[in-house]
Amino acid sequence: MNKQEKVEFVIKTLNKIYPEVPIPLDHKDPYTLLIAVLLSAQSTDIRVNQITPLLFEKADNPYDMVKLSVEEIREIIKPVGLSPMKSKGIYGLSKILIDKHHGKVPQSFEFLEELPAVGHKTASVVMSQAFGIPAFPVDTHIHRLMYRWNLSNGKNVVQTEKDAKRLFPKELWNKLHLQIIWYGREYSPARGWHLDKDIITKTIGRKSVIQEYIKAKKP
C-alpha cells in the first residue's frame, strides 16, 4: 500500500467501527468543555467525568467560578491530579473570560492559548468539539497510533499534528481525531496490546513495530 491507500484504509476502517463517535468528556457548553479538557491533563476521562459534576454543581460558568477561592476549587478537583496548577488556571481563565470576553469562551486559537493553563492541545479540543472548527488535537493515543501506522515519525506531537493535517482531509479532522482516540483505547493500547485485534496496525503498521511485537511474544 502507498501512503494514500493507507490513509483511505484508516478512514474506511474507523468509519466502519465508529459510524458515530461520542465525545469522551461530559460537558454542556464551551466553558464546561474547556474546564473538563484542562482537568484531563495527565488524568483519565473517567476520573474527570466523576469530578466535573461536583465542580459544576457549585460553578458551571466563569461568574460563579470566580466566587470560589483557588483553594476551594483545588479541594474539589484534587482527585484528578496537578490540582495546585489546575485550580489556579481555572480561576485565572474564568477571570479573564469575564474581563476580556464578556464571560464567553472565545472561538480563536490565539485568544484561547492566551488563557492560563490552556495549551495548543486544549485549545484544539475546544475549537473542534465546542465550535466545530476544524482542528486535530493530538493526545497520547493519536501520537502512538500515527507512529504505529507509519504515518508519522513519532518525533513529537507537533510533528504528528502536522502529518495528520497533511494526510487526512480537513473536513474529517473533527470526527477522525475522536475515532482514532477510541480505536487506540479499545484496539491499540500502549499496554496489553494484541496485534490480532488491531486490524489497522496489522494491515498497514510500521514493520519494526510489528517485528518488535512478535519478538516480545515469542516464548
pLDDT per residue over 6-45, tens digit each? 999 999 999 999 999 999 999 999 999 999 999 999 999 9
Q: For residue 40, what pLDDT is reported?
A: 95
CATH architecture for the domain at 3-20+137-217? Orthogonal Bundle (1.10)
Nearest to 207 by CA among 189, 194, 191, 195: 195
Q: Which residue shows C-alpha cell 495548543?
A: 120
CATH superfamily of 30-130: Hypothetical protein; domain 2 (1.10.340.30)
H and E: helices and strands count for the chain: 13, 0
Q: For residue 219, what pLDDT is reported?
A: 74
CB 125 within 8 A of CB 33: yes
> Residue 217 is placed in which grid cell?
511474544
Half-sphere exposure of 95 (CA within 13 A, CB side): 12
Half-sphere exposure of 86 (CA within 13 A, CB side): 26
CB 33 within 8 A of CB 52: no
Q: For residue 217, what pLDDT is reported?
A: 84
Q: For residue 26, what pLDDT is reported?
A: 96
- Please list the active-site residues: 121, 139
DSSP string over 89-121: HHHHHHHHHHHHHTTPPPS-HHHHTTSTT--HH
Q: For residue 154, what pLDDT is reported?
A: 87
User: pTM, whole model, 2 decimals?
Assistant: 0.92
Nearest to 179 by CA among 36, 3, 2, 10: 10
User: Mean pLDDT, consecutive 10-residue segments, the chain of 219 residues?
Assistant: 96 98 95 97 95 98 98 98 97 98 97 96 97 96 97 95 98 98 96 96 96 88
Q: For residue 210, what pLDDT is reported?
A: 95
Q: For residue 120, what pLDDT is reported?
A: 96
* CATH topology agreement for domains 3-20+137-217 and 30-130: no
Q: For residue 212, what pLDDT is reported?
A: 94
Residue count (the chain): 219
Q: Which residues of 116-153 are buried (b: 16+ CB within 10 A; e: fewer)?
A: bbbebbbbbbbbbbbeeeebbbbbebbbbbbbbbbbbe
Half-sphere exposure of 19 (CA within 13 A, CB side): 1
Q: Whole-angstrom Cα distance, residue 79 to residue 218?
A: 40
Q: For residue 218, what pLDDT is reported?
A: 80
What is the residue extent of each domain of the chain?
A: 3-20+137-217, 30-130
